[in-house]
Chains A and B, each alone.
Chain A
């Protein structure tokens, strides 16, 4: 099987010096990881391990100091975020990043328009674009928000906002999807509903997920990668990761999970 998303020799450090020694604090060190097309891959690791940095590099928000990012066989390193998005990579953010003052429909419409070929014919009235509207409403239905289309995103309950974020990320029909901590701050029921939603909506796509909740990780992932101290220390099936002693040393909760 071919890789949908591949990191090759990624090195990254932020440009400020730490301490008197003047040593650069390395955030990512020699990351080599290939996400197979169609798989659900989860990235775990302690806080500060570099997970979000790797996401930022994948979607173009950060440019790595060294290494390449390959999307469906094409080198996307150094492209602008919108160019990467147009090549079929979507990302949902860790912090709430909805357009709070826009309606649910308009949040989704904005996402659909981003993946639309006919961009920026600014004189086109929005309401005239019936196909865009229909796609936005279909996605609202898919994330369980069909009844809330006209409500401002900022007024939705927290769990509904996170669901809408998933919808916004996927409304452009990207084939590779990065989702950052979708169940953070949720209770068990909400978390379970979110996992079901993600599983349903990422059917037939490639998913790279950052998650802390081990039930979620082992319930959803085909493969798991462990990032610690900026380095990739293990990649394997959930069972292999659970049995890996090196992983237990840096990430003790991994063995507690009962999948």
Chain B
């Protein structure tokens, strides 16, 4: 923290070297972010013997065996498939139900709207730990235990409120005259909403989908509680690396790296969206 304040005062007093200080600050911060991830990648490319016997900043004895172990064993790679299935399902459900609701909140005032909005937000605030056990009972009783849809629905608990919140912010930025003009032109609500309104807030939908994907992908407690075999997420599969013969560090690291890949891909594809989306909406 100490050198940070020094940097900060440097920025303020000497605007001439602004650009350089900025680069240094960002450089330091990014290194801080990347270093632990680099270490994971580094370990995933080593053999277990190398990990435990010597200490090196890069793999001396490069191996892809750890990745091969995961990608050839269905009980491993199905974990990724399961996670992806319920994450995509959850994102779709969240966005589809959140769009009309966010429109209602941004355009109309109706009985109890503010209370409803706050109630939705409280669900975003409810700790998953509180709901883990009743969820298990609920989904067992309706016969959905260990299915993808169960996890997707459970994640709606915190993703739907978030999606409504984000989309409402974006929709508020669209002038109401557009709606009125469309209605005068004879558009029905449904056609106006899909043909005109959604394209207008496309970046907002992108940002909301990004956040839903993110929170569903990273959540473990509920997805682990609600599945056992068929829909087991990768995060739960990873505990397999602890065996009687000790930790399989290499495979654990490789599995970790592979969980980062989908996220990294998503960020890469929506990067311009995010920059634009963040700038446009209130988020």
Q: Do A and B bind each other?
A: no
